[in-house]
Amino acid sequence: MKYECDLIEDLLPLYKDGICSDTSKTAVEEHLAECEKCRDIYEKLKDETVDELMIREKEDVIGSQSKFFKRKSALAGSIIAAIFALPILICLIVDLAGGNGLGWFFIVLAAMLIPTTLIAVPLMVPENKMFTTMTSFTLSIIILLGAICLYTRGNWFFIAASSVLFGLTVCFAPFIACRRPLAGYLKNYKGLTVMGAYTVTFCIMMICIGISANAPFWPLAFAICAPLIAMVWIIFAIIRYLPVNGLAKTGLIMTVIGIISFAGNKAAEYFTLKSATAAGVTVISRSSLNSAIYVATMAIGVILSVIGIAVGRIKKETDKGEEK
């Protein structure tokens, strides 16, 4: 025989699909003519096509069934949503027409929006269930807060709504970013996107609190928040992008926490003292104890990162040595 059976067996799948070169094709045909063993293998390979056909058929049936169920569940979801939404809408119109603002009954109904979104929305949407459900859940809570705030004539709506938005973003953003279709678009930027969402919603919350607060809020808020936001981003960058081992990362994170807590604490202390002096209040400072804790954190962090980086180096060298 001109060719080894092993070689021909490797070529058979290509030959079957008609995607091999003419030379290979001739070689396979010549070999099949004289080798019974390879002929058997080729026949089996051809039979597998039938199996594949069966599998595809089965998937088609399952696909059309699942489409049918999706349509049914969308209908059920729409009916549930309508049952809950109609009384809310009617009550709102009646309340507004009465001219006395919202009644307490409207708040009870608005509260029903929350379970409605959790039950009806996942049934209604065929794709992106997670994203749509979480978004409408968040919206329904914000609507309820708005209704209560209007009813009680409060001025806390933006603080409450932005806090809810931030809190729910913290809970849901990682899940939403890791699910299709978002995961597909984001590819390697899931962590970055989640961090961006946290930062944006956190800033919105701080702005809302700042606008609503009567006290001289901004300088103190900035002194506390800016270093903390920076710290979270630096820790994220260390964990996600720095090519060092776990020990070195832990050490670096401890160092960063130490430095930024120290700086943030000093800044906050400065502003507290300033406003206290302005108000004529004496403040007993515990700053020397705090500073000692931060310096100790920094020192341990530096030691850990040095050990971590050294261990990494030594390991690299040994690996190289072993390769040689």
Is the Cβ of residue 29 or residue 52 nearer to Zn ion in the bound state? 29
- Interhelix angle 129-151/104-124, nearest 10 degrees: 180
State yes or no: residue 38 binds Zn ion (CB under 5 A).
Answer: yes
Is the Cβ of residue 42 or residue 172 nearer to Zn ion in the bound state? 42
Amino acid, single-letter form, for residue 277: T
Is the Cβ of residue 38 or residue 260 nearer to Zn ion in the bound state? 38
Measure the CA–CA gap between 233 and 255, rounded to whole angstroms: 14
Is the Cβ of residue 3 or residue 233 nearer to Zn ion in the bound state? 3
Is the Cβ of residue 28 or residue 88 nearer to Zn ion in the bound state? 28
Is the Cβ of residue 30 or residue 269 nearer to Zn ion in the bound state? 30
Interface residue with Zn ion, options 14, 35, 85, 234 (CB under 5 A):
35
State yes or no: residue 12 binds Zn ion (CB under 5 A).
Answer: no
DSSP character for 188? G
User: Please, is 145 exposed, middle or buried when counting C-beta atoms within 10 Å of its C-beta (0-12, 13-18, 19+)?
Assistant: buried
| Nearest-CB residue for Zn ion | 35
Instruction: Retrieve residue 11's tokens.
Output: 């070529």
Count of residues engaged in binding Zn ion, rule: CB under 5 A: 3
* Contact range with Zn ion by CB under 5 A, out of 28-36, 99-107, 133-141, 174-182: 28-36
Least distance (Å) between residue 176 CB and Zn ion: 55
How many CB atoms lie under 10 A from the CB of residue 165? Answer: 20
Measure the CA–CA gap between 245 and 121, rounded to whole angstroms: 44
Least distance (Å) between residue 11 CB and Zn ion: 11
Vertex 118 angle, CA 101 and 72, to 5°: 115
State yes or no: residue 7 binds Zn ion (CB under 5 A).
Answer: no
* Contact range with Zn ion by CB under 5 A, out of 27-35, 47-55, 205-213, 310-318: 27-35
Measure the CA–CA gap between 59 and 64, rounded to whole angstroms: 9
CB 143 within 8 Å of CB 113: yes
Residues engaged in binding Zn ion (CB under 5 A): 5, 35, 38
